[in-house]
Structure 1
Amino acid sequence: MVRRAVLVLHGHRRQGDDPVGQDQAGRRDEGGRQGGRAPGDDQPRGGRGCRRGHRTGRRGCGEHAAGGPVGRGAGPATGAARASLRVQLELMSLTHEAVVACRSCGVPVTVVVADSLNAERHPELKARLLDGTLHRFQCAQCGADLVIDKQLLYFDHARGHFFFCFPRPRIAELAACLAEVREVHDKAFGAEAPPEIQALGKHMMLRVCFGLDQLRDKVIADDARLSDLVLEELKCEVLGSRDDLRALSVIALWLVRVTPDALEFVTEGPDGVRTPPVTVTRALYDELAARGHAAILAARPALVRGPHVSMLGLVLEP
């Protein structure tokens, strides 16, 4: 189950409307928005800096908008009552120590893994996600790489990111994962929440990811102001047109870098094996973006399943 403990709404326990499970006529717009921004919403999200120079978004500085920094302790008593409810959503980066067996030699390896990641408060953890070292360890006995595929909640107030990451194999349980996310999201931003908290939720980009590759892909894309819906269509176009990728049985492309002229992807073959990287011109992305979200969804509706926006959704089609 998704860990609800990482969400602290001071003094509120609530049930709300269902922002995840709305149909096409509900709160999801043509780009797949679920209770938040649509894929590819390129509206500026920067704002004026606070008095300490913290990064701000349309809602102001998450650290000081309510008259003081949000507490960094381990419970709802941290950071006393504030004048504004805007920042009463307190999400911390939570980590714990675990012991795992090396898959190569069987020796127990002690690791520290994250259950939740607040990118604003712990940018070093975001940096590890982006460079591929988050939850990646090395066995001291045999030197083998150990990659921990686990559940993670990723939050970035300034960027408007509210991303739930499940272990990759759970994509086969998509409906159950969406139900878990629905429960957490409703308790945080549902109809019984104060209006200020509901408004905050509407500006969050809600996504469900499977595996750290997909989570990193989403973060890099939105940081670069790319539409993830257009990006997923681009992946479909590339995989469908490249004989060399089909020969290597490439099943997924994951964005790792964006430049003014190109998008760079790592590729995933059978059993997660990396195959040669792929570079695609930015012009191709722009050409697909010009089609518009409605046209893309009309051609490939399975790209969007609630807050799961991915070409991987195509493999779930009956």
Structure 2
Amino acid sequence: MSLFHPVNLVCPQCEAPVTMMAVGSVNADRRPDLRDDILEDRFQDVTCEACGESFRLQPQFNYLDTGRGQWIAAMPASRLRDHLEIEDEAAALFDTSYGANAPAAARDVGSGLAVRLTFGWPAVREKLLVKQLGLEDVIVEMMKLHILRSVESVPMAEGIELRLVNTDEDSDGYVFAWLETASEKYIEYMTVPAELYKAIEGNPEGWNAIRKRLDTGHFVDMQKLYMGEGRPAE
């Protein structure tokens, strides 16, 4: 089931106290509306009754969608630099819930789940969109790396990330955006031909070294390539 609990917040605009129900876990099989809210960038929004300011509680919950084979530990973007430690914690939680240390019935469910760790709302939304489009997230991350080395200038800096945000039906391509992690404000868009995904998918040997670095553990995101040595590639 999807679990919520009350939390006390402070409005960032007027500093008035705000109470809302924060999610601890999302079961998208039973509550598909919550999945829709994440994809529409409206999940965990709250409005201050004192001044009318709207803001969003950062993600900190587990997401389950057995129908689509997804289990995600969604964490606040502020914890990104601790990704190795948090990845270990997420792996242990999954093992207890659906993995090696879970009851047999739960292990049966877990065998069909891809485990992922995300930081911030744009990242968790992207994982849901990638699955919806029938894509492989590792290849999407490699597309981003290709974009970074192919365009003349990019607005990349700490606190800014590149995410797949939509499809372009007119050009049969994928829409990527640079955005601010904290505010979720879109800075710049670009459309990438669908042929790029197919080209990377069809060249496994050429991309094997990068895939190994991206596909170590449950945090599958190109951002980890810029934060220290990380885990050894298998």
Structure 2 length as normaliser, TM-score? 0.85
Contact 1:118 1:156 (8 Å CA) reproduced: yes
Alignment identity in percent? 27
Of 248, 257, 264, which residue of structure 1 is paired with 2:175? 264
Residue of structure 2 in register with 1:80 after alignment: none
The one-letter code sitting in structure 1 at the alignment partner of 2:121 is: L
Does 1 or 2 have the higher relative contact order (CA < 8 Å, sep 6+)? Answer: 1
Matches of 1:168 and 1:217, distance apart in 2: 14
- 1:232 equivalent in alignment to 2:141: yes
Residue of structure 2 in register with 1:253 after alignment: 162
CA shift in 2, pair 1:212/1:276, >3 Å: same
Matches of 1:192 and 1:285, distance apart in 2: 37
The one-letter code sitting in structure 1 at the alignment partner of 2:42 is: T
> SS at the partner of 1:309?
coil
Tell which structure's C-alpha radius of gyration is larger: 1
Matches of 1:117 and 1:103, distance apart in 2: 26
Of 209, 221, 224, which residue of structure 1 is paired with 2:130? 221
Greater share of strand:
2
CA shift in 2, pair 1:264/1:250, >3 Å: farther
- 1:99 equivalent in alignment to 2:8: yes
> SS at the partner of 1:95?
strand
Matches of 2:156 and 2:142, distance apart in 1: 21
- 1:289 equivalent in alignment to 2:198: no
Residue of structure 2 in register with 1:280 after alignment: 192
Deviation digits for residues 77-130 of structure 1 (CA, Å, limit 9, x no counterpart): xxxxxxxxxxxxxxx101122221111211122222211111111111111100
- 193-202 or 141-150, which moves further after superposition? 193-202
- Output the aligned Cα RMSD: 2.4
Pairing 1:1-318 to 2, within 5 Å after superposition: 92-191=1-100, 193=102, 195-246=104-155, 251-259=160-168, 261-269=172-180, 273-292=185-204, 295-299=206-210, 301-318=212-229
Matches of 1:315 and 1:269, distance apart in 2: 17
> SS at the partner of 2:50?
coil
> SS at the partner of 1:203?
coil
Contact 2:66 2:112 (8 Å CA) reproduced: no
The one-letter code sitting in structure 2 at the alignment partner of 1:112 is: M
> SS at the partner of 2:207?
helix
Structure 1 length as normaliser, TM-score? 0.64
Matches of 1:250 and 1:110, distance apart in 2: 27
Contact 1:255 1:266 (8 Å CA) reproduced: yes
Structure 2 residue runs without a partner (length 5+): 230-234
- 203-212 or 242-251, which moves further after superposition? 242-251
> SS at the partner of 2:139?
helix
The one-letter code sitting in structure 2 at the alignment partner of 1:299 is: I
Contact 2:138 2:211 (8 Å CA) reproduced: no
Matches of 2:116 and 2:158, distance apart in 1: 27
Deviation at 1:201, TM superposition (A): 1.7
The one-letter code sitting in structure 2 at the alignment partner of 1:116 is: S
Deviation at 1:247, TM superposition (A): 7.8
Structure 1 residue runs without a partner (length 5+): 1-91
